[in-house]
Amino acid sequence: MKALILGSKGSLGQEFLELYGNSALGWDREQVDITDEAGITAKIAEAKPEMVINCAAYNDVDGAEENRSAAENINGYAVGFVAKACNGLGIPLVHFSTNYVFDGGKQEGYNEDDIPNPRSAYGKSKLLGEIELQKNTDKFYLIRTAWLYGKPGMKKSFVEVMLTLGQKGQPIEAIEDEFASPTYTKDLAEAVAALVKIDKPFGIYHLTNAGFTSWYDWAKEIFAIKNIEVNVSAVEAQKFAGKRKAARPKYGILNNTKFIELRPWAEALKEYLET
Ligand SMILES: NC(=O)c1ccc[n+]([C@@H]2O[C@H](COP(=O)([O-])OP(=O)(O)OC[C@H]3O[C@@H](n4cnc5c(N)ncnc54)[C@H](OP(=O)(O)O)[C@@H]3O)[C@@H](O)[C@H]2O)c1
């Protein structure tokens, strides 16, 4: 399977590039800007991949509140351009979305067919991408995921932020009333590769490491595994309202009802931090 990976320098893109090895082609912004419809269409046609995996995204959740058009163009309309190009070649497109397309009011978590209702500009831009994807091709795997960490990309993951703060030794406040599933990009990439390999039907999938936690308990787990002594105190999301421009879902839990369960989030985190 010759896979073309877009956003190949990002955290998830790097995992796919490593996983597919020689059979993959990786492009990031320097090779092609996915918001350039003519450019991306011509380049995909020229590369003749058997599948495209789109990991490119505008991922600054708070920044999107002020840069709505950049978020809409990259996360929304560009997805339509890539989908149209793939449709023209008759090849499948794997695309990623987020738990932030949901409003977070559903404590028991969201199933794949639940109706999105994003609360932030980032969430709205990712939902636009979901719509553009489905409008332009039927051969899609739309993978919603959450709270990624793994190989460092441009944006620091929560794990990296905590480790940096922890090394400074200062007390940390972490939110105790927002919940989701921390997800290791290596596990996600492997699960997606397996899903594609066995030709699961096209459609929407929810893939995260199993179980869920709060930012507070996630932070505590990171420091426990790394044996770093830090004073972490639990605060309510409300306390961060001034610091975080975007609203986040309170319960951003994605129920995976269609594919095999990934390993528990704390087990994956341990492997990541110990290797
Ligand atoms: N990170 C999370 O916690 C999280 C949670 C849920 C879902 N997701 C989704 O999972 C996917 C992968 O996320 P990630 O964390 O691996 O992303 P990432 O590390 O931010 O990587 C995204 C990559 O896309 C590139 N890119 C951005 N705009 C582009 C453009 N116009 N043309 C070409 N390349 C462009 C970026 O380059 P620059 O650095 O130059 O911009 C970057 O290398 C995304 O769809 C994301 O929305 C992420």
One digit per residue, the tens of pLDDT, for the chain of length 275 reads: 699 999 999 999 999 999 999 999 999 999 999 999 999 999 999 999 999 999 999 999 999 999 999 999 999 999 999 999 999 999 999 999 999 999 999 999 999 999 999 999 999 999 999 999 999 999 999 999 999 999 988 789 999 999 999 999 889 999 999 999 999 999 999 999 999 999 999 999 999 999 999 999 999 999 999 999 999 999 999 999 888 999 999 999 999 999 999 999 999 999 999 99
List the residue whose alpha carbon is closest to atom 12 of ligand 1: 55
Task: Provide the pLDDT for residue 83.
Answer: 98
Q: Could you state, in order of their start, the residue ranges of all structural domains in the chain? A: 1-275
CA of 224 to the centre of ligand 1 (A): 29
CA of 169 to the centre of ligand 1 (A): 30
Residues 258, 264, 266, 271, CA torsion sign = negative
Contact in structure between 148 and 140 (CB atoms under 8 Å): no
CA of 47 to the centre of ligand 1 (A): 21
Alpha-carbon distance of 245 to 260, in angstroms, equals: 35
Question: What are the angstrom distances between the C-alpha of 205 and each of 16, 56, 57?
Answer: 18, 18, 18
Residue bearing tokens 């609203």: 247
CA of 183 to the centre of ligand 1 (A): 15
Q: Which residues are catalytic?
A: 122
Alpha-carbon distance of 165 to 76, in angstroms, equals: 33
Question: What are the angstrom distances between the C-alpha of 31 and each of 5, 7, 86, 221?
Answer: 11, 10, 18, 38
Region of residue 143 (left: phi > 0; alpha: psi -120 to 50; beta: else): beta
Ligand 1 site, CB within 6 A:
7, 9-13, 28-29, 33-35, 55-59, 74, 96, 98, 145-148, 153-155
Task: Provide the pLDDT for residue 170.
Answer: 87
Best probe residue, ligand 1, of 25, 27, 53, 55 (max atoms within 8 Å of C-beta)? 55
Task: Provide the pLDDT for residue 1.
Answer: 65
CATH of 1-275, one of 3.40.50.720, 3.40.640.10, 3.40.50.970, 3.30.70.3270: 3.40.50.720
List the residue whose alpha carbon is closest to atom 17 of ligand 1: 10
Strands 213-214, 179-180: pairing kind: antiparallel
Ligand 1 atom closest to Cα of residue 144: 7
Alpha-carbon distance of 128 to 170, in angstroms, equals: 40
Mean pLDDT for all residues in the chain: 97
